[in-house]
Amino acid sequence: MTTPPVPVAEGGPAGAGSAGSGLGRWPAVAMVLGSATSTHLGAAIAVLLFARAGAGGVVTLRLAGAALIMMLICRPQVRGYRRSDWAVVIGFGVALAGMNTLFYQAIDRIPLGAAVTIEVLGPLTLSVIASRRAIAWLWAALALGGVILLGGAGFDGLNLTGVAFALGAAAAWAAYIVLSGSTGQRFPKADGLALALVVAAVLTLPLGITSSGSAMFAPAVLGLGLAVAVLSSSLPYTIELLALRALPASTFAILVSLGPGIAATAGYFILDQPMNLIDGAAIALVIAASIGAVLTTPAKQVSADIGLPVP
């Protein structure tokens, strides 16, 4: 799954291009690309784990591991919040659970690159709707063309159930973006994310136990599950939090848009998933649409679309 950045409260440490980060622009760019590589490497390892623990079991391991790590790092306070605050963080957790579960069900059925390409349609659609500019429909058409190319002739034809799960993950990512902004305004730093991960882990636990049983608790599976949690969640969140202090939100969003290409590369080298020129063209169309949407969207809206509070 493409990992969105950590939501932070207004006035918190992560602000696009904030001063005093200690990072230059190019090191920050390298960090974002490294974060994306880590995310999709973790997803590739997750696919290798499906044979042992099933997609449901791996989702639970990823979210539980990420929740444990983030709770230890953040040590969030649980007192002093209103019911409305908890309602938002619970909704955020539901979105996280849905996004991860649907995405892992997708990559169990279709190639990693195709799944990420389709999933990116969630934030892209949100950006097009929020833009209210005529040119936004050009980016929507480009992205739609890429997906049609994927489904029609790309990746040797796609499993329709897998495509449906990827589209569901796209919708859940859009919900994540909306809720992450609200969570960041109500909870300091990454506290809201840590609490939402706990909610997500609890929600996916029954599915994990049902689909994998005792296999989920085998030492080797637990170890690889923790590796997936670190590579796909904890490490990218930390890297992106640091990088966002040195990069404008628009630059960050463009780099995140390269996710489908990075995912396809990880699928090719790690999972031996073939990719041809049609696949590459389809992914390129979606990447171009994402970058175009970023470049023609007002800066404040870009910040909102990638999960940052509007400055």
pLDDT attached to residue 252? 82
Token pair belonging to 198: 């706990």
Token pair belonging to 70: 């983030």
* List of residues 6+ apart from 288 with CB closer than 8 A: 142
- Judge contact between 300 and 310, C-beta under 8 A: yes
Direct distance between the N- and C-terminal alpha carbons of the chain, in angstroms, rounded to an integer: 27
pLDDT attached to residue 68? 95
3-state percent breakdown (helix, strand, coil) of the chain, nearest 5: 75, 0, 25
* CA-based nearest residue to 204, from 77, 93, 89, 42: 93
The per-residue pLDDT string of the chain (311 residues; one tens digit each, 9 = 90 and over) reads 555 544 544 433 334 444 445 567 888 889 989 999 999 999 999 999 999 999 999 999 999 999 999 999 999 999 999 999 999 999 999 999 999 999 999 999 999 999 999 999 998 888 888 777 888 889 999 998 998 888 776 666 789 999 999 999 999 999 998 898 888 889 988 899 999 999 999 999 999 999 888 889 999 999 999 999 999 988 888 788 778 778 887 788 888 889 999 999 999 999 999 888 988 999 999 999 989 988 887 666 666 565 543 32
Per-residue b or e along 119-140, where b marks 16 or more CB atoms closer than 10 Å to that residue's CB: bbbbbbbbbbebbeeeebeebb
Pairwise CA distance, residues 275 & 269, whole Å: 10
pTM confidence score: 0.86
* CA-based nearest residue to 222, from 47, 44, 64, 1: 64
Pairwise CA distance, residues 60 & 101, whole Å: 9
Please state the length of the chain.
Answer: 311
